[in-house]
Amino acid sequence: MRRIIRVRRGRSQVTDAESTERSLISPLEWYKPGVRIAHWAIVALLVLLTLTTLGPLFWMLSGALKSSVEIYRTPPQLWPAAPEWSNFSKAWTELNSLLYLGNTAALAIGAVALQLLVSATAAYSLSKLKPVLGRALLFFFLSTLMVPALAYLIPQYLTVVHLPIFGISLTDSWWAVWLPEAANAFNIIVLKSFFDSIPNDLVEAARIDGANALQIFIRIILPLSRPALAVVAMFTIFATWKDFLWPLLVLTDPSKEPVSVALYQLGIAASNGVPQNVLLAGFIFALLPPLILFLVFQRQIIRGVNTTGIRG
């Protein structure tokens, strides 16, 4: 009996160790020379690709710390001899970074609120309410993803300049950016896929208890869909933060411009623009908020993407 217990304990320890070390490559295949060579070749390729993506960020930081003479030196030097950290303070004051970062944050928050409202309700109706011709509507949503964004740029601009029914112009107002961002076919499909994974038994039980469609949506669907809603919110924030062409067209008031448009107007379009090193420091200020947001919520974003139930 003691021998049997010892053997079982030994087997359980082996299985635990195998479960903790489980990967795509089994321990037996790992000892083959060809497998090791292929593994380290893939690792080296991934490191090289990572360096290529980090290269522009490093060059932007290096340029922000250079002097006006060093930034135009030929051949270029990777790192300045005497980093000028004062360029960041100049960018903060001369470029009025606080105002434009606040404008961009306000545009992103408004776009997220409208996006969640429209996309969540549309996905809920397609997934749980089962409207007439629901599959046809879903097909039309999917067909919009096949059209390039520039194809409907002019009709969208004409709609914003003269809003139908109301007959007003939304230019130079944040609504001109918020309303086009309110509906996104990809986000609707993502949320619908997640709503489909929620058991219908919960919905039917709530209906038996007397809950209507709105109460089911608020009390059951939304609390269970926090990972998917977080992913949609992050995607909307990143898309709004980096958007350039549409705000450039509809926001001509400098006090309402986002940071992407303001940096272009102050540093590139202006005849007497700010120095390039100060402009690069302003770009770093514009880059930091979404980068920090992604690093803080990286786990939640990846978990949400894994649980959205997107199917090919």
pLDDT of residue 24: 66
* 39 and 106 co-located in one domain: no
Q: Per residue in 21-37, pLDDT tens?
A: 556 677 777 777 777 88
78 with 106, same domain? no
Mean pLDDT of 58-77: 88
pLDDT of amino acid 104: 96
| Mean pLDDT confidence for 210-229 | 91
Q: Do 186 and 159 reside in the same domain of the chain?
A: yes
Largest Cα–Cα distance in the chain? 90
Domain boundary, last residue among 60, 84, 108: 84
The CB density around residue 106, as the number of other CB atoms within 10 Å, is: 15
Give the pTM.
0.81
Q: Answer yes or no: is 297 within a domain.
A: yes
Q: How many domains does the chain have?
A: 2
pLDDT tens by residue, 94-150: 899 999 999 999 999 999 999 999 999 999 999 998 888 888 888 888 888 888 888
- 1 found inside a domain: no
Task: Give 165-184 pLDDT, tens digit per residue.
Answer: 888 999 999 999 999 888 88
User: What is the per-residue pLDDT for 16?
Assistant: 44
Is residue 242 located within the same domain as residue 177? yes
Do 158 and 300 lie in one domain? The reply is: yes
Of 47, 69, 84, the position where a domain reaches its end is 84
- Both 203 and 258 in a single domain? yes
C-beta of residue 111 within 8 angstroms of C-beta of residue 177? yes
* Position 242 in a domain: yes
Q: Domain check: are 134 and 67 in the same one?
A: no
Cβ neighbours, 10 Å, residue 220: 17
Tell whether 139 and 74 lie within a shared domain.
Answer: no
Q: In the listed set 39, 58, 84, which residue is the last one of a domain according to the structure?
A: 84
Q: Which residues contact 120 (CB under 8 A, 6 or more apart)?
A: 191, 217, 222, 225, 229
Q: What is the CATH number of the domain that holds 150?
A: 1.10.3720.10
Tokens representing 81 are: 């001899």
Is 15 among the domain residues? Answer: no
Among the listed residues 240, 256, 247, 251, the one whose alpha carbon sits nearest the alpha carbon of residue 290 = 240
| Domain extent for 270 | 90-307
The verdict on residue 207 lying in a domain is: yes
Cβ atoms within 10 Å, residue 244: 12
Round to whole Å and give the CA distance between 242 and 259.
Answer: 9
> Between the CA of residue 56 and those of 5, 36, 89, 185, 282, what are the distances in Å?
60, 32, 22, 32, 15
148 part of a folded domain: yes
Q: How far is CA 182 from the centre of its chain?
A: 15
In terms of domains, do 42 and 150 share one? no
Average of pLDDT values for 186-207? 90
Tell whether 32 is covered by a domain: yes
Q: In the chain, pLDDT over 90 holds for what percent of residues? A: 42
Q: Confidence class of residue 307 from pLDDT cuts 50, 70 and 90?
A: low
- Of all residues in the chain, the percent with pLDDT exceeding 70 is 88
